[in-house]
Amino acid sequence: MRPLTEEESKTVFTKLANYIGKNLVHLIDRPDEPYCFRLHKDRVFYVSESSMRLAISVAKPNLVSLGTCFGKFTKSGKFKLHVTALDYLAQYAKYKVWIKPNGEMPFLYGNHVLKAHLGRITEDTPEHQGVVVFSMNDIPLGFGVTARSTVDTRKLDPTAIIVFHQSDVGEYLRDEETLF
Amino acid sequence: MDVSEILAEHARKEQAVIVEKEVPLEVDAGFLTVTDPNPIDEESYKANLEEYLQSTARDGVQVLISALFSLPTTSSPDGPLAQLPPPTTQIPRAKPLPKPKPLTKWEQFANAKGISHSKKDKKVWDEEKQDWVNRWGWKGANKAAEEQWLSEVPMNADIDFDPAKKARDERKARVAKNEKQQEKNLLRAQGAGPSSAPPERKREIDRTLATTRVSTASMGRFDKKLEGEKKLKGVKRKFESTEVSSEKEKSQNLSILSKLDREPTTKKAKGGEAVLNVRKAVRAASKGKGSAALARDSNAKKGKKGKR
């Protein structure tokens, strides 16, 4: 376990800023308790300082996880967000997409969001913008990237893809052994 | 006449003036100091500390003052003045001992080899002149070869061979060499010796050698090992310690964030920074039809104008 280097922090922050924009400050500068980012076995964990200090005393091979896993660094140095970061993304998300109840299951099985399943979408969402996907009763289901801007979606046919799937809560079951 | 009373009085006075101790007190009149080397009398020390200390001090002062009165005096308008003898007590020196002079290279070598070196006299005896002359310097003996009116010329010498010039050049070279050595000794004494850091050229060579060693197809893995070749050491990565203070970490992260805000990395973010939202502007101008439609409309208008 170690703090991120400046390069790594930059990579993580640019990725997170894609979904939550300027709200990223609230993750770093929290009023309740100091939180920090820690790297352990290529995974980035967002953890309160107190529990990080407790984890210091655990040997490296024995430490499985701490705090919230935000994602992992690939071998080529890119940062991949995991569905475990969804809680924080949903809380601070800038652009949101709500899907109808009949579209929930297809999305949770790892499919893209189609126009037919689109319930609501934030106004002025640009193209290729990171968005968080909610069910109609405001339960976060996952996140992805918009295929079209809000305006362009109006003219599309119902089978067109609106949001490219990136991650969904179904992964908790599907990728159980590799996720954490 | 009864003198016993006077005698008793005198004896008391005498007793008050003369101090008798087992070990005599040490008086240093030069420093006006008295040292009492006698062991402490434990009984009286414990019974009444103040009184014991006072009596010891009184004895010491008494001895000092009687020693002062026995000194030779000079008279002055303010009364007689005693002349203090030089102090006898040894006082530790205030400054540390001076450091030994750093040895020159020759001295180091001579010490290592056990060569004892006797200093040469500045004057040498000149048999011809029957006089003492300087070894060097003004009319020095080292210039004798240059001042000969006749000198032998070697068989294979050049035509313009000048024995005086040759001797002079050799002497000048010796002086120059000595000056260089002196300079080096001075440098070494200052601690900035030539051996303290490898010169730039050597470091460059080392770097090149290290690069070439890993520049083969197997990255140096299956190369023939030379004798005495050292193992290559890579650059070790350095990370900050895990338990940095949260305040420091927070400020670092915030500074990284502000840097990201200043120079957006993606093209999209660059567009978002601009004052004008191009996407919105195009939508408003084309009434929601898009940029392609807008371009078509403007082209069509131009075409009509041209026909008129």
Each domain of chain A, given as residue ranges in start order, spans 2-88, 95-174
| Residue in A with minimal Cα distance to B238 | A5
Determine contact, residues B70/B63, Cβ cutoff 8 Å.
no
3-state secondary structure B80-110: CEECCCCCCCCCCCCCCCCCCCCCCHHHHHH
- Which residues on neighbouring strands pair with residue A163, listed in sequence order? A113, A146
* Residues of B in Cβ contact (< 8 Å) with A70: none
Q: What is the ipTM of this complex?
A: 0.81
By the 10 Å C-beta count (0-12 exposed, 13-18 middle, 19+ buried), A141 is classed as buried
Is B242 close to A56, i.e. CB distance below 8 A?
A: yes
CA A67 to chain B, closest CA, distance in angstroms equals: 15
Give the residue from B57, B74, B91 where a domain finishes: B74
Q: How far apart are CA B37 and CA B60, in angstroms?
A: 11
* Residues of B in Cβ contact (< 8 Å) with A151: 283, 288
Averaged pLDDT score across all residues of chain B: 85
Does B146 reside within a domain?
A: yes
Mean pLDDT computed over B4-31 = 83
CA B262 to chain A, closest CA, distance in angstroms equals: 12
Specify whether domain A2-88 bears CATH 3.10.450.220: yes
Strands (E), B84-233: 123-126, 131-134
CA B255 to chain A, closest CA, distance in angstroms equals: 10
B256 lies within 8 A of chain A by CB: yes
| Residue in A with minimal Cα distance to B246 | A34
pLDDT at B306: 45
CA A106 to chain B, closest CA, distance in angstroms equals: 30
Number of domains chain B contains: 3
* Residues of B in Cβ contact (< 8 Å) with A67: none
**pLDDT tens, position by position, B56-66:** 999 999 999 99
pLDDT of B13 above 80: no
| Residue in B with minimal Cα distance to A124 | B280
Q: How far apart are CA A168 and CA A82, in angstroms?
A: 9
Q: Residue B271's domain spans which residues?
A: 265-308
Instruction: Give B 196-255 residues with CB within 8 A of chain A.
Output: 239-240, 242-244, 246-247, 249-250, 252-254
**pLDDT tens, position by position, B236-274:** 888 888 888 888 888 888 888 888 877 655 555 454 556
CA A102 to chain B, closest CA, distance in angstroms equals: 30
pLDDT at B301: 60
Q: Identify the band that residue B208 occupies on the pLDDT scale cut at 50, 70 and 90.
A: very high
Does B292 reside within a domain?
A: yes
* Residues of A in Cβ contact (< 8 Å) with B280: 124
Residue A155, CB-side half-sphere exposure with 13 Å CA sphere: 7
**pLDDT tens, position by position, B164-185:** 999 999 999 999 999 999 999 9
Is A10 close to B256, i.e. CB distance below 8 A?
A: yes
Is B246 close to A124, i.e. CB distance below 8 A?
A: no
Tell me whether strands A130-135 and A96-99 are parallel, antiparallel or unpaired.
parallel
Mean pLDDT computed over B208-234 = 86
Distances in Å between the Cα of A163 and the Cα atoms of A112, A159, B87, B124 are 6, 12, 101, 106
pLDDT at B273: 53
Strands (E), chain A: 2-3, 35-40, 43-48, 68-73, 79-81, 96-99, 113-114, 118-121, 130-135, 140-146, 161-168
Does B96 reside within a domain?
A: no
CA A42 to chain B, closest CA, distance in angstroms equals: 14
Q: Which residues of chain A have pLDDT under 70?
A: none
Q: For chain A, which residues lie within 8 Å of any Cβ of chain B, measuring from their own Cβ?
A: 1-3, 5-6, 9-10, 13-14, 17, 22, 24-25, 28-29, 34, 36-38, 49, 52-53, 56, 124, 126, 128-129, 149, 151
Q: Identify the band that residue B308 occupies on the pLDDT scale cut at 50, 70 and 90.
A: very low
Does B212 reside within a domain?
A: no
Torsion of CA A149, A154, A157, A159, to 10 degrees: 50
CATH architecture, domain A95-174: Roll (2.30)
Higher-pLDDT residue of B234 and A153 is: A153
Does B304 reside within a domain?
A: yes
Is A13 close to B257, i.e. CB distance below 8 A?
A: yes
CA-closest candidate to residue A39, choices A82, A83, A1, A78: A1
pLDDT of B304 above 90: no
Is B239 close to A13, i.e. CB distance below 8 A?
A: no
